């Protein structure tokens, strides 16, 4: 038996619904249809009245989740594409994210964002928005890269008393498989060392973990040992694990699929530079998508986001510094 990243997300939601009567799912087409990507397939049937189709109203979907969370429910809302969450931006960053701080009443909700590019999806169905949500106080932002993390982190997201932006990568939905669902997991907020090496640290998350691992493999044939750190959650950011890795390797490359201005990769570099300047043997580097909207044509799309090839190129440049 094997299970995909998408199935893990569905199984986690099924488990959450089964284990906790406070959980319900609300979003566009999530009901009988099972969601645009089938992340809620059969759930309405199994949990009648708790998997609910919403009108195309991302703002109201999120406000609705906030209201029910105030009442002690544990809503999971699905944005059909991460890109559409910008319509809900106000409710996420001003309503959900400020509620606890303003009122001392926590706001336990999960916003599922199908993120990242797939070939041919173009400017409005490909975005990675972890950066803008991480900017706001009061939110937890998760970016699982593996089937196991997709499952365990989604369950943890439901259990957390704060609003969680759960960035799941569409490119991993069907391709990424695991043998079975995990029974234990690292806690949220802890990064994972996914590959050990002594020459350079690549800090990354979500689908870029797999591009970075492929690049590390390619460089291994040239004799380089590349360490890869999967952040797992970008907020909170596990600075300790990153710093420990940089202390071992002396070189840092940060890779993210979001746009370059500011952002997660810049944050990691800022922290390492400020706290670990003496650990660095070369200037820290980063690799992001290009600073344009996401292109439609596969040739342009493949060049717009970092890939194993461009990660390997950036790593080689850094190793020469």
Partner 1 sequence: MRFWLSIQIFKAVMSAQRAGEIQIFCRETYAMSFEMPLDGKCFKLFPPVDVIRHNHDISVSVRAKKHCRPAGWSLTLRMVSTVPKPAAPQSASVRELCLQAHRTMLLSRVLEEKLASLYRAGKIHGGVFVGRGQEAVSVSLGIQLRKGDVFAPSIRDMAGRLAFGESVLDAVRTYLGSPLGPMRSRDGNVHRGRPQEGLLPMISHLGSMISVVNGVLFARRMSGAKEVVGATCLGDGGTSTGAFHEGLNQAAVEKLPLVMLVANNFYAYSTSNDRQFACRSLLDKAIGYGVQGVEVDGTNIIACLETIGGAVQRARSGGGPQLVIANVLRLCGHGEHDDASYIDPKLKNSPLGRDCLKVSEEMLLREGWVNEAQLAEWRAEVVQQVESAVATVQREPAPDPYQHDWTAVSSRHLQELHADTSA
Contact (CB, 8 A) for 39 and 13: yes
What is the per-residue DSSP string for 3-20?
Answer: EEHHHHHHHHHHHHHHH-
Number of amino acids touching partner 1 (CB under 8 A): 53
Q: What is the spatial distance between Cα 314 and Cα 310, in angstroms, rounded to a whole number?
A: 6
- Partners of 265 in the beta sheet? none
**What HEC string does 250-277 produce?**
CCEEEECCCCCCCHHHHHHHHHHHHHHH
Contact (CB, 8 A) for 101 and 58: no
User: Which of 6, 16, 154, 188 touches partner 1 (CB under 8 A)?
Assistant: 188
Closer residue to partner 1, CB minimum distance, 92 or 147 = 92
Between residue 130 and residue 169, which ones bind partner 1 under the rule CB under 8 A? 137-140, 160-162
Spacing of C-alpha 289 from chain mean position = 15
Q: What is the spatial distance between Cα 19 and Cα 35, in angstroms, rounded to a whole number?
A: 22
Segment interacting with partner 1 (CB under 8 A) among 104-112, 115-123, 177-185, 280-288: 104-112
CB of 108 to partner 1, least distance (A): 9
Packing angle, helices 239-249 and 263-276, rounded to 10? 60
Closer residue to partner 1, CB minimum distance, 171 or 268 = 268
Closer residue to partner 1, CB minimum distance, 100 or 174 = 100
Pairing of strands 164-169, 140-142: parallel
Tokens found for residue 89? 């931006």
* Residues in the chain, total: 321
> Residue 86 interacts with partner 1 (CB under 8 A)?
no
Segment interacting with partner 1 (CB under 8 A) among 36-44, 63-71, 145-153, 204-212: 63-71
Segment interacting with partner 1 (CB under 8 A) among 2-10, 100-108, 174-182, 297-305: 100-108
125 is catalytic: yes
Sign of CA dihedral 233, 237, 239, 242: positive
Closer residue to partner 1, CB minimum distance, 60 or 247 = 60
Closer residue to partner 1, CB minimum distance, 73 or 247 = 73
CB of 137 to partner 1, least distance (A): 4
Between residue 1 and residue 60, which ones bind partner 1 under the rule CB under 8 A? 24, 49, 54-55, 57, 59-60
Which residues contribute to the site for partner 1 (CB under 8 A)?
A: 24, 49, 54-55, 57, 59-73, 75, 87, 90-91, 94-95, 97-106, 137-140, 160-162, 187-189, 235-237, 239, 271, 274-275
Residues taking part in catalysis: 125
């Amino acid at each position: 038996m094997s299970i995909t990243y998408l199935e893990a997300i569905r199984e986690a939601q099924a488990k959450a619904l089964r284990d906790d009567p406070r959980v319900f799912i609300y979003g566009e087409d999530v009901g009988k249809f099972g969601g645009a990507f089938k992340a809620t397939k059969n759930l309405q049937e199994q949990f009648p009245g708790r998997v609910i189709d919403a009108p195309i109203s991302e703002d109201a979907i999120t406000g609705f989740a906030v209201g029910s969370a105030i009442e002690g429910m544990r809503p999971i809302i699905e944005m059909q594409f991460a890109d559409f969450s910008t319509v809900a931006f106000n409710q996420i960053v001003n309503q959900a994210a400020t509620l606890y701080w303003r009122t001392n009443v926590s706001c336990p909700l999960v916003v599922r964002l199908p993120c990242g590019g797939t070939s041919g999806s173009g400017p409005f169905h490909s975005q990675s928005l972890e950066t803008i949500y991480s900017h706001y106080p009061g939110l937890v932002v998760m970016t699982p890269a593996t089937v196991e993390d997709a499952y365990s982190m989604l369950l943890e997201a439901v259990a957390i008393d704060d609003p969680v932006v759960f960035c799941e990568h569409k490119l991993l939905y069907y391709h990424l498989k695991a043998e079975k669902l995990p029974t234990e997991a690292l806690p949220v907020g802890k990064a994972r060392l996914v590959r050990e090496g002594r020459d350079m640290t690549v800090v990354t998350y979500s689908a870029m973990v797999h591009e970075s691992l492929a690049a590390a493999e390619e460089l291994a044939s040239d004799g380089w040992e590349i360490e890869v750190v999967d952040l797992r959650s970008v907020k909170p950011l596990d600075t300790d694990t990153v710093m420990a890795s940089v202390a071992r390797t002396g070189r840092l490359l940060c890779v993210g699929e979001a746009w370059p201005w500011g952002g997660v990769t810049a944050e990691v570099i800022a922290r390492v530079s400020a706290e670990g300047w003496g650990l660095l043997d070369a200037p820290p580097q980063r690799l992001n998508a290009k600073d344009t909207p996401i292109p439609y044509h596969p040739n342009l799309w493949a060049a717009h986001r970092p890939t194993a090839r461009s990660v390997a190129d950036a790593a080689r440049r850094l190793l020469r510094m």
